[in-house]
Amino acid sequence: MKLALARIVTRDVARLTAFYERLTGTRPSGNDKYLEFDGPGISLAISDEQAVRSHGIALAAAGSNQTVILDFEVADVDAERERICGFVTDMVMEPTNQPWGNRSMVFKDPDGNLINMFTPLANTQASRA
């Protein structure tokens, strides 16, 4: 078994696509109802809520995720914090060293989905508090 990609269902495909394009630096392919970001290190899709429902998946409700976190490993989480400060408006946790050996920050996308960006502390020059 292989997890092919993660898909986010939304009421505003254009807004969420613009956010993830800016976040990942990856251009998606698709249309105004379904897009995929596919490249080295990313397999993410965005689907229109009404299109998903029209295909019989009535339980997919945009903006209601309270259980899944998208984890992105990055080279320098502090540099990423500076880069995203102009368009990420809902920061949940500023960059912090975690006891399991990562420096992480958590924020929400425009639909409220949680995103964790992290850098393994072994990859950093020095631990930051």
Structure confidence at residue 126 (pLDDT)? 46
Among residues 73, 60, 75, 129, which one has the least CA distance to residue 98?
A: 129
Longest Cα–Cα distance in the chain: 51
pLDDT in tens, 93-108: 999 999 999 999 999 9
Among residues 126, 127, 113, which one has the least CA distance to residue 9?
A: 113
Structure confidence at residue 4 (pLDDT)? 86
> pLDDT at residue 41 above 90?
no
pTM of the model: 0.85
pLDDT in tens, 66-90: 778 999 999 999 999 999 999 999 9
Kindly indicate the confidence band of residue 124, based on its pLDDT and cuts at 50, 70 and 90. Answer: low
Domains of the chain: 1-64 (3.10.180.10), 65-129 (3.10.180.10)
